[in-house]
Each structure stands twice: as structure tokens, then as C-alpha cells.
Amino acid sequence: METLALPAASESALVDRIDALLPQTQCTRCGYSGCRPYAQAIARGEAAINRCPPGGRAGIEALASLLALEPLPLDPKCGPEGDTGVAWIDPQICTGCARCLPVCPVDAIIGAQRLLHTVYAADCTGCELCIASCPVDCIVMRPRSSDARAPHAGTNRERYLNHQARIERRAAEQAELLAAKKRAARDP
């Protein structure tokens, strides 16, 4: 992989342009923790442009055009091209453990601890990350309904950023609560 030597501002702009071409499913099939880290690796010349199954051939061609590279076939190690569908939670099996909630990168799973969960199909990116988190195997992928389309990349990005902000906010709140408890224990 060729490393690109760019000034920080140029690299940032390139990352933005690459990221804008990715589908924002945050599926991690490329081997990175999300679309932005994959875009950063491409910009630095550390990752090939053919590692995004949701983006498929069209995504590879768009990246090749942007970066003045030859298009490559999709890397088969990353999975097959195409929409994986939407997650569906079997209500007869779901125990309400809530392990699927934090792993959904766009908060498409609705529910709470000890309550039945469901997937808002219109927001599901088909990333499949929820499947592995389920201890009772109640989550399966189903095809999208014939009149439904996968969510738009811009919507996915916005929902993902909101998800990340919520996680960071909760972590900060937990840290502050713990610090307050420690202060109270130390200074009775």
C-alpha cells in the first residue's frame, strides 16, 4: 500500500471526501471500526479501496475515480456485495437482555432492559453487528420489503454521530458520578 504524504489539512479534506463516498453502514466488514476510520486508512495509503461490501462495485469505482486509481474487484475476505437486509428480532425468543442496543451504530433497535426489543427497519443499515451480541440467537437478517430502500448514507452518518455522542455523554456522566462518590467517601 502506497503511503500518501499530505499536509494535515489536505489529509483531513481527503478523508472527508472519501468518507462521503462510503455508505456509512458502520458494518466493520472492511476491518476498521467504522466508515471514517476506513476512510482515514485509505487517505494514508494504508488500506485498499476494495474493502467495503455495502458500497460494492459502485463504491469502489467512486473511490478509484476520486483517488485516480484503477478500480479493484471487491476483496472477498470482506464479504459479498449487496444489501444484507434488515435485522429482525424474534419476539418469542427475545429475553430483553439489551445487549443488542449499544452495538447498533445507528440506534435502530428499540427497547429497554427486560423488555421486548424490535428493529426500526427504516433505520437499519444491515450491519449485522447485533447478531453476535445476542446470547439467545433471536436476531436474524431478513430481506428488506420490496418497497423499502436501505437508509441514505447521510442519514446513516447523522444517526451514527448521534449514537457516538450519546455514548460519550453517558460515559462522561458515569465518570462524574463516580468522581462525586469518591469525593463524598473521602470527605464525609
Distances (CA, A) of 160 to 2, 34, 103, 105, 110: 30, 10, 11, 5, 15
Interatomic CA distance for residues 22 and 120, integer angstroms: 22
Q: What is the pLDDT of residue 63?
A: 97
Sign of CA dihedral 75, 14, 46, 70: positive
- Entry pTM: 0.84
Interatomic CA distance for residues 59 and 51, integer angstroms: 10
Q: What is the pLDDT of residue 3?
A: 46
Ordered by where they begin, the domains of the chain are 8-78 (1.10.15.40), 83-178 (3.30.70.20)
Q: What is the pLDDT of residue 165?
A: 95
Contacts of 136 (CB under 8 A, 6+ apart): 93, 94, 95, 97
Interatomic CA distance for residues 80 and 93, integer angstroms: 29
Q: Which helix (H) or strand (E) holds 132?
A: helix 129-133
The residue type of 12 is S
Digit-by-digit pLDDT tens for the chain (188 residues) are 544 555 556 888 999 999 999 999 999 999 999 999 999 999 999 999 999 999 999 999 999 999 999 999 999 999 999 888 999 999 999 999 999 999 999 999 999 888 999 999 999 999 999 999 999 999 999 999 888 888 999 999 999 999 999 999 999 999 999 999 998 888 86
Closest among 117, 110, 124 to 156, alpha carbons compared: 124
Q: Is residue 103 within 8 Å of residue 129, measured between CB atoms?
A: yes
Closest among 79, 71, 72 to 53, alpha carbons compared: 79
3-state secondary structure of 187: coil
Residues 118-143 pLDDT 10s: 999 999 999 999 999 999 999 999 99
Q: What is the pLDDT of residue 176?
A: 95
Q: Which three cell numbers stand for residue 56?
A: 460494492
Q: What is the pLDDT of residue 173?
A: 95
